[in-house]
Amino acid sequence: MDTNQLQTLLSTSSEQTSNFQMWKVTWIDAQTTGDSGWGDLEEMKEEALTSPPVIVTLGYVLHDCETHVALTETIGPAECGHVTKIPKGMILEAYTLTTRDLLPK
Q: Number of H helices and number of E strands within the chain?
A: 3, 5
For 5-33, the pLDDT digits (tens) are 666 655 555 566 678 999 999 999 999 99
Rounded Cα distance between 97 and 103, Å, is 11
> What letter does residue 18 receive in the DSSP assignment?
T
Range 31-55 average pLDDT = 93
- What is the predicted pLDDT for the residue at 47? 95
For 53-72, the pLDDT digits (tens) are 999 999 999 999 999 999 99
* Domain boundary assignment for the chain: 19-102
Comparing CA positions, the residue from 99, 96, 100, 78 lying closest to residue 16 is: 78
Comparing CA positions, the residue from 7, 1, 26 lying closest to residue 95 is: 26
